């Protein structure tokens, strides 16, 4: 069928931004973060999307996805999503291809909003007007002073009701670090921990019980590897009252989330629209959560999830992740600012309401590999 509003261009670029301090969690360490951005054009308008991934995703978009999408209907992002999923069958839908598809899907939805001159929040419809955030960082590479200062600032200055810290690099030191975090934020804020899969099952059971009893930790994320659904389910079944088990940030497909939910592995499913298929994939994850009666929490990329969180039925909160907050405030016009710990989409701006400040981003540009 001939497109009424054909996509005319699709282009991607990558930017690598150094972190402000070295960062680490229980199973990884890094000193920079790469943002891949996509612009799509059609009907005289331009849409913007992004993912946090490797720079090679930009190449995959330019060489594999762009030729496929040129001439396709700009007003029908799910049709484009379907054709992109088919196109990467032999590459694998997860990983780099998943992030590339996600960034393009977001750009297509943004373009549709631009063409209709309506915000994405209006386009999708909203279950709520605003979504709460929780402060997230507390890297294991931080000194105790850096850790406690960051968490306390989120509670006191940003108005976060909950904050999350990383654990698992040196499990023997975690009880002391978690105690220092609790002392810094006081008794009224919620304290979350994320082991990024670093603990063994036994460690997770022992330390999780201790964190809940001694420091009122109410969220234990990836206590063991999120590939270990049986282990997660065992921990969830034995978790103390008031402690939620969460995972899902490495989900690229609805089938991944479905398996995690079927295994009763989590109390709260995490999904990341910059990995799991953009707006289209995130709404699929949200529908699975509704079906399983499990809450959904957004992983990172807060400027994007601000709108999507309003459009998801069982939505709990957005991860206000230090790295991404910093990058989005540096490089994206329209990046939302929390008001007393909540974000609201700006419905006066069409689409996602975000644009790349290209002149500010230029110094971080990754040169294409020749
Ligand atoms: Mg995590």
Ligand 1 center to 222 CA (angstroms):
7
Domain 7-117+357-364 fold is Enolase-like; domain 1 (3.30.390)
Ligand 1 center to 30 CA (angstroms):
15
User: Which residues, in sequence order, are CB contacts of 76 under 8 Å at separation 6+?
Assistant: none
Q: Two tokens at 303?
A: 């400027």
Report the alpha-carbon distance of residue 232 to residue 224 in Å, rounded: 7
pLDDT tens digits for 283-330? 999 999 999 999 999 999 999 999 999 999 999 999 999 999 999 999
Q: Two tokens at 274?
A: 């910059």
Rounded to 5 degrees, φ, ψ at 203 are -60, -45
Domain 122-355 fold is TIM Barrel (3.20.20)
Ligand 1 center to 354 CA (angstroms):
25
Taken as a whole, the chain contains a residue count of: 370
CA 170 to chain CA centroid, nearest Å: 26
Write out the H or E segment, with its range, that includes residue 11: strand 7-24
Would the pLDDT of 8 be above 90? yes
**Domain ranges, ordered by start, for the chain:** 7-117+357-364, 122-355
Ligand 1 center to 340 CA (angstroms):
23
Q: Where are the alpha helices (DSSP H) in 117-158?
A: 120-124, 144-153
User: Which residues, in sequence order, are CB contacts of 97 under 8 Å at separation 6+?
Assistant: 60, 88, 91
Is beta strand 131-136 parallel, antiparallel or unpaired with respect to 315-321? parallel
Would the pLDDT of 113 be above 70? yes
Ligand 1 center to 249 CA (angstroms):
6
What does the pLDDT average to over 233-237?
A: 98
Please determine whether the domains at 7-117+357-364 and 122-355 fall in the same fold group of CATH. no
Look at the block and give the residue holding tokens 């990172």: 300
Ligand 1 center to 69 CA (angstroms):
33
CB of 49 closer than 8 Å to CB of 67: no
The sign of the dihedral angle between the CA atoms of 199, 205, 209, 212 is: positive
The answer, as to whether pTM is greater than 0.95, is yes
Q: Two tokens at 87?
A: 């196109």
Query: How confident is the model at residue 98, as a pLDDT?
Result: 98
Ligand 1 center to 144 CA (angstroms):
20
Would the pLDDT of 2 be above 90? no
Q: What are all long-range contacts of 83-92, with beta carbons under 8 Å and residues at least 24 apart?
A: 85/277, 88/64, 91/60, 91/64
Report the alpha-carbon distance of residue 47 to residue 279 in Å, rounded: 13
> What residues have a C-beta under 5 A from ligand 1, the ion?
194
Report the alpha-carbon distance of residue 121 to residue 33 in Å, rounded: 28
Share of the chain above pLDDT 70, in %: 99
Look at the block and give the residue holding tokens 């699975």: 288
Ligand 1 center to 293 CA (angstroms):
22
């Amino acid at each position: 069928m001939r497109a009424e509003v054909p996509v005319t261009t699709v282009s991607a670029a990558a930017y690598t931004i150094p972190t402000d301090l070295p960062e680490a969690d229980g199973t990884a360490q890094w000193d920079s973060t790469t943002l891949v951005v996509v612009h799509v054009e059609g009907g005289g308008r331009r849409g913007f999307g992004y993912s946090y991934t490797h720079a090679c995703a930009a190449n995959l978009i330019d060489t594999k996805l762009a030729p496929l999408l040129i001439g396709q209907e700009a007003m029908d992002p799910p049709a484009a999503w379907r054709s992109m999923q088919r196109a990467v069958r032999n590459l694998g839908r997860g990983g780099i291809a998943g992030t590339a598809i996600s960034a393009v899907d977001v750009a297509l939805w943004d373009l549709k909003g631009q063409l209709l001159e309506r915000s994405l929040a209006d386009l999708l419809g909203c279950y709520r007007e605003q979504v709460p955030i929780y402060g997230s960082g507390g890297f294991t590479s931080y000194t105790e002073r850096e850790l406690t200062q960051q968490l306390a600032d989120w509670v006191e200055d940003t108005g976060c009701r909950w904050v999350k810290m990383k654990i698992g690099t040196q499990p023997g030191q975690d009880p002391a670090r978690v105690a220092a975090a609790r002392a810094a934020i006081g008794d009224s804020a919620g304290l979350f921990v994320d082991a990024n899969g670093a603990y063994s099952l036994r460690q997770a059971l022992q330390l999780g019980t201790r964190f809940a009893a001694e420091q009122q930790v109410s969220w234990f994320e990836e206590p063991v590897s999120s590939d270990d659904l049986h282990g997660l389910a065992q921990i969830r079944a034995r978790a103390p009252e008031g402690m939620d088990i969460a995972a899902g940030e490495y989900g690229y497909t609805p089938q991944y989330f479905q398996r995690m939910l079927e295994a009763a592995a989590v109390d709260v499913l995490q999904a990341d629209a910059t990995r799991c298929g953009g707006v289209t994939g995130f709404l699929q994850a949200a529908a699975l959560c509704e079906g399983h009666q499990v809450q959904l929490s957004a992983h990172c990329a807060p400027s994007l999830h601000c709108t999507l969180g309003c459009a998801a039925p069982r939505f709990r909160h957005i991860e206000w992740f230090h790295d991404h907050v910093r990058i989005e405030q540096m490089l994206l016009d329209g990046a939302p600012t929390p008001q007393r710990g909540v974000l609201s989409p700006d419905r006066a701006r069409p689409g996602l309401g975000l644009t790349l400040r290209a002149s500010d981003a230029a110094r971080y540009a990754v040169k294409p590999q020749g």
